[in-house]
Amino acid sequence: MKTRLILSLMLAVVWAAACGQPGQRGKQAAGNDVPVFLDDSKSIEERVEDVLARMTVEEKVAILHAQSKFSSAGVPRLGIPELWTSDGPHGIRPEVLWDKWSQAGWTSDSCTAFPALTALAASWDPELSKLYGQSIGQEARYRKKDVLLGPGVNICRTPLNGRSFEYMGEDPFLSSTMVVPYVQGVQSNGVAACVKHYALNNQETNRFVTNVKVDERTLYEIYLPAFKAAVQKGGAWAIMGSYNLYNDQWCCQNEYTLNGILKGEWGFDGVVISDWGGAHDTELCVKNGLDLEFGTVTNNPAAASNAYSNYYLADPFLEGVKSGEFDMKALDDKARRVLRLFFRTVMDRNRPYGSFVSPEHIAAARKIGAESIVLLKNDGGVLPLKDEGKILVVGENAVKMMTVGGGSSSLKVKKEYSPLEGIKERFTNAEIVYERGYVGDTDGKFDGVSTGQDLLDNRSSAQLIADAVTAAKDVDCVIFIGGLNKSLFQDAEGEDRKSYDLPYGQDDVIEALCAVAKKMVVVIISGNAVAMPWVDKVPAIVQDWYLGSEAGHSLADVLSGDVNPSGKLPFTIGKQLSDYPASTEAQYPGIPRPEPSKMGVQDVTILDEEYSEGIYVGYRWFDHASIAPEFAFGHGLSYTTFEIGDPKVSGSIEKGLTFSIPVKNTGEVAGSEVVQLYVSAGDSAVERAPKELKGFSKVYLEPGKTATVKITIDKDAISYFDAGKHVWVAEKGDYSALIGTASDVLPKTVEFKY
């Protein structure tokens, strides 16, 4: 009773404010009715129009820019709450101070860290993507966040990219398929997914000043599809403009990508949010499609006193509207979009309350992690390991917490299980010993969050290797766990890797161990491909990822065979860096311009970068240039074996051509296989990649069982983008569907015509 009374009073106050404010233009609610914008039974569009009509110009501008590091203002007079954003994309970032990156010091913000998005992509399982999105959305909601800054879907163009681990690999079809359920899952909580970084943000080095030049066909075929899928199929409510430039305009204020493609061609009705500090000019932001500006600082010199009012979409915009420089239409369009976001999130009274670090979330993290681990090599059936004898674990990544670091995706976790902990917990009959092997990054701190681990070790490299080798002589199996580690230059925001090689002399450690170990397993934890010069000497190699809270459990699940590995590479692992397409300076990291340019009030040197390899990215390049990779895109072994039978085909390209593909588990243990379908075009008016992934399906099978997997393709699967006519073209002609279990294991070919 009492609560209802209070609610009615609150409503009355809001109502009075909504109707009675002097100096407003627009409508008044009739009689005693609830104002339209507070009426849940009305459509969002009606509510948006109603509230827009009640707002002053100042109020409209106030919702278009940040008021703190991660929040923007609501409309207090009308009872519209603030909007809170948070990184993203692997867990909910710990609270920072209102206007500083330093920690707010909360003790209630230690989250579940989910596996990095590369791992999610490596699961090749859209159902897991949905589980991921739902779970992280619940965590966001519980922490009262309205916009999750993720997922990231920039294409992995170079294995040096510092942020590959936050993205979904090198293939547009794989990333498009995986991003959609993530977005839907997050948004089912009344939390917006903010898909990032739109567009062409394929490197960290010089990320603020790289001007990408890419031909139109490549843009549409390779770099945009995942964003388009997130918007059109996933229904994303927000998108984040990237820091870099495209065709001489920064991507947060880029007429072509924002107004032309995103809002024009794709009909995006959501909010374009700037990357933090990605806006540089009021007029261009206003005219070219930015809706909501966030920043790290502001570039405006007047910012010293009142930073947020001096954002490009704050006072400078307000003054421009008042002076007539900018018209109300532009302001209303942005306000309308932001209000729509309010009604979809913070004003949705029916959204669930969310949950935080629940057993379900931990279980989801563990499952996604285990399903994503890729068994690259397993000669002689070294894996799975038996729980017996003596096992030596070597390597810093076996003990180092990986959830802290990497940049804005850094987290503070409730508990992170390291690989060594996971192995010790699982292999209770075996004797487990540990040696460090090498010392990499002992810092363990990011933005004031510390792992609290003391990883200092003063032994020389030679001594560390000698100690590991001595220990290795006395054991039945050696598991080396290394890779990269999310410290600067080793898979982190802000800087790319400087080398394709493993850092900290790890190759020497592996080589030395190989010489003495009876059985050797190498586990690489990374978000990128690394060189493996020892590949022929190591019988078992596992590609692991930054797996978050349950990292150790997921890895132990796979090493022990409790979970049969079924992950597949979301990118190609080349033998050496020069095998990758972007190999000239003009292609990467770009050529500096002789004259400085203005970025806001700063003088900066822009670098021009030509994506002259065109559509030949990832396996498309390796195929085209006939370069044998170390491990191909889509590769991943299992502890069982599968046989792909002869596909049956029904339907037509116009209505949907369905391939029914029998898959049999021919081995001894249950497991999952990912059936992959690539399309290869015959004669074409344009150059085509030798093959392109256009369908896949993951299937779980008990030993001896067969299932029929169905993959349907349509005109999209055979189309190329005709840049001259600016349309997708499905050419009449001959095509082949290449079907198998990896991009280099495609035993079945089905010819078809269109």
623 is catalytic: no
Of 110, 175, 184, 408, the residue at the interface with ligand BGC (CB under 6 A) is 408
Number of chain residues interacting with ligand BGC (CB under 6 A): 7
* 486 is an interface residue for ligand BGC by CB under 6 A: no
**What is the closest distance, in whole angstroms, from the C-beta atom of residue 12 to ligand BGC in the complex?**
39
Quick note: the x/- pattern for ligand BGC over 61-80, rule CB under 6 A, is --------------------
Nearer to ligand BGC, 276 or 616 (CB): 276
* 149 is an interface residue for ligand BGC by CB under 6 A: yes
**What is the closest distance, in whole angstroms, from the C-beta atom of residue 577 to ligand BGC in the complex?**
25
Q: Which of 109, 275, 496, 544 is labelled catalytic?
A: 275
Of 139, 275, 613, 673, the residue at the interface with ligand BGC (CB under 6 A) is 275
**What is the closest distance, in whole angstroms, from the C-beta atom of residue 196 to ligand BGC in the complex?**
5
In single-letter form, the type of residue at position 600 comes to G
Full DSSP string of 148-204? EE--B-----STT-TTGGGS--S-HHHHHHHHHHHHHHHHTTT-EEEEEEETT---S
Count of CA atoms in the C-beta half-sphere (13 A) of 270: 26
- Tell me the residue length of the chain: 754
* 146 is an interface residue for ligand BGC by CB under 6 A: no
Nearer to ligand BGC, 275 or 557 (CB): 275
Strands (DSSP E) contained in 412-539 are: 431-435, 445-446, 449-450, 477-483, 520-525
CA pair distance 302, 296, nearest whole angstrom: 15
Q: Is the peptide bond before 199 cis (omega within 30 degrees of 0)?
A: yes
Q: At what angle do helices 172-187 and 225-232 cross, to 10 degrees?
A: 30
**What is the closest distance, in whole angstroms, from the C-beta atom of residue 223 to ligand BGC in the complex?**
17
CA pair distance 329, 327, nearest whole angstrom: 5
**What is the closest distance, in whole angstroms, from the C-beta atom of residue 749 to ligand BGC in the complex?**
42
Of 276, 311, 631, 735, the residue at the interface with ligand BGC (CB under 6 A) is 276
Residues 6+ apart with CB under 8 A from 622: 572, 574, 579, 628, 629, 632, 633
Backbone angles phi, psi at 26, to 5 degrees: 95, -170
Nearer to ligand BGC, 109 or 275 (CB): 275
Strand, helix or coil at 394? strand
**What is the closest distance, in whole angstroms, from the C-beta atom of residue 528 to ligand BGC in the complex?**
17
Q: Is the peptide bond before 592 cis (omega within 30 degrees of 0)?
A: no
Nearer to ligand BGC, 201 or 218 (CB): 201
Q: How many CB atoms lie within 10 A of CB 639?
A: 20
Residues 6+ apart with CB under 8 A from 579: 622, 627, 629
Q: How are the residues of the chain apportioned to helix, strand and coil, as percentages rounded to the nearest 5?
A: 30, 20, 45
* 87 is an interface residue for ligand BGC by CB under 6 A: yes
Nearer to ligand BGC, 149 or 392 (CB): 149
Ordered alpha helix ranges (H), 288-428:
303-306, 315-323, 328-344, 359-372, 419-426
| Sole residue written with tokens 């005219």 | 287
**What is the closest distance, in whole angstroms, from the C-beta atom of residue 203 to ligand BGC in the complex?**
12
Nearer to ligand BGC, 204 or 396 (CB): 204
What CA–CA distances, in Å, run from 547 to 212, 402, 440, 492, 683? 32, 8, 19, 15, 44
Nearer to ligand BGC, 298 or 665 (CB): 298
**What is the closest distance, in whole angstroms, from the C-beta atom of residue 128 to ligand BGC in the complex?**
23
**What is the closest distance, in whole angstroms, from the C-beta atom of residue 140 to ligand BGC in the complex?**
13
* 496 is an interface residue for ligand BGC by CB under 6 A: no
**What is the closest distance, in whole angstroms, from the C-beta atom of residue 162 to ligand BGC in the complex?**
11
Quick note: the x/- pattern for ligand BGC over 15-54, rule CB under 6 A, is ----------------------------------------
**What is the closest distance, in whole angstroms, from the C-beta atom of residue 69 to ligand BGC in the complex?**
8
User: Residue 621 in contact with residue 581, Cβ under 8 Å?
Assistant: yes
Nearer to ligand BGC, 121 or 674 (CB): 121
In single-letter form, the type of residue at position 53 comes to A
Nearest to 365 by CA among 88, 567, 114, 166: 114
Nearer to ligand BGC, 87 or 441 (CB): 87
Nearer to ligand BGC, 223 or 534 (CB): 223
* 244 is an interface residue for ligand BGC by CB under 6 A: no
* 196 is an interface residue for ligand BGC by CB under 6 A: yes
CA pair distance 56, 356, nearest whole angstrom: 38
Quick note: the x/- pattern for ligand BGC over 349-388, rule CB under 6 A, is ----------------------------------------
Helix (H), strand (E), coil (C) string for 564-614: CCCCCCCCCECCCHHHCCCCCCCCCCCEECCCCEEECCEEECCEEEECCCC
Q: How many CB atoms lie within 10 A of CB 554?
A: 29
Q: Which two tokens stand for residue 77?
A: 């007079």
* 84 is an interface residue for ligand BGC by CB under 6 A: no
Strand partners, 445: 450
Nearest to 187 by CA among 227, 232, 243, 130: 130
Nearer to ligand BGC, 88 or 419 (CB): 88
Interface of this chain with ligand BGC, residues 533 to 562, rule: CB under 6 A:
none
Which residue ranges make up the site for ligand BGC (CB under 6 A)?
A: 87-88, 149, 196, 275-276, 408
Which residues are known catalytic residues? 275
